[in-house]
Structure 1
């Protein structure tokens, strides 16, 4: 397997924890770029109207300056396409979609996110696009000082109604442990995520987990709850992203392409994809078991205390400290790798960029 660069082995150094920097930048850093995924593409399941593929193609054609994102309307189970002008709305309706005219375009919201990403590195904070409310939401832990919170408010004030800033109780944390309990020889406990295989050598098997689980270890061995040897870590990307890879290295351990539901049952996984806002998703975590919720925001930047992590997805599923690395899925589709959150707000790393980075696929 070709190692892409040193980030295959270990994550790049993060921004110093605890520092809040105020500046104004308009260009995204290379740290936020993600490789294009070549995973199997299937549609978001909708009740009627425009399909997920068709909505994506329409948004691409109209452009980010005339659109404001898409999301699933829970009541009708149809996709909504947000647009910034009446002509674009008419094109959406003619294509069979539900059109909603909004004030801010994706280009404008992305520019705000880029400025925040380059301006703030504050442990206990996160932000991302709320496509339903057509805003960037910023949330700051109650543990953050009033002085630092005031600095965030000052930055947000520059963007008027395009921003919504608020506090949440408790601390933002990355979660350790998860779906099937695993433990490294250096004492770290995490979750086994999806079993995957090398696309260029399908007999070479691995499993995904969170990058903050494998970060800081060197060819560390991993075992299950019964101390049975599983394999050793070969990849970590954290912070900036949050995905890690462990190679299976025990022929006596079965490696099925499914997810344990913590009730004696399993869910088979056959492909991978992204999920739309308002779409249901579930996760399997060692600490909280089998939990489900909805996608609430995309493009989340979160800081657990050791640098910004970009392009996470926020959900309404409940989680506990102890769930990191667990699989996020819906029915037979792999969707993400659980990263962290607070209370019943869970963040996941999208699975397709992780698969693409390592040259893997689910099976």
Structure 2
């Protein structure tokens, strides 16, 4: 059990948990900022979490649900207040409805996570600040301390596998729930470089090409909410043309980009009538570059499986490898 102390201070309205780990600070930090990893311990073992969004930047948001053995769910959110890379971050943590919106009948609290080096590795101090004594007592009565102990007791197992996460540079796919897919890739470049590569047409045309033998003659994109974009690809020589079009829903440079996407063909140039996906791109700095996380929401599970079966992820890996070779700006 990594927890070394738990202190409740009714006068200061705080709950402070100190935990020690035998890994470098950066490994512990990445466990909290990578959605694939935090969802393996953010919740007691019998209530594993699924993170649908995890923005590690001021003004960002995280959204998650914990599912019990009988299918019962408890959902929550984080509103990111501040981030000091590798050292600390602060969030407002609260209960949420199924749609991710704050639960009006439940309190929220501030949580500060401080990471520090120790002689044996690293120490995490988590301080929860409550709005009132009544809220502190309410949440303690809901076994908040016991839940934190059970959740943090799982971290050592996750940390033991962090070297595997860091070493795997390929494009990784996870099915999330019934209608989503999460694609993750570590890119050798800064967050700013990767953002520009995803939002500047002349850069997109260098790398977003899929398998060799294709070109991108049309690339119209502006990272402005409400704008419409259009991509078109063709095999060298002009055959087998297709593309995608959609709207920019949200743009928070250089960390978050949300778009809709529909496939176009010469016979259906506006993509009408076909499936439309919601694509949420999040960029997070790491010790080795940038973690790219793309959460794709499909109309249903059948559509998800149909699109994944096309070899989409292999094509994405080919493009991301090309991005690292020749698509990043200087």
Does the pair score TM above 0.5? Answer: no
Length-normalised TM-score, structure 1: 0.26
Higher relative contact order (CA 8 A, sep 6+): 1
Length-normalised TM-score, structure 2: 0.28
Structure exhibiting the larger radius of gyration computed from Cα positions = 2
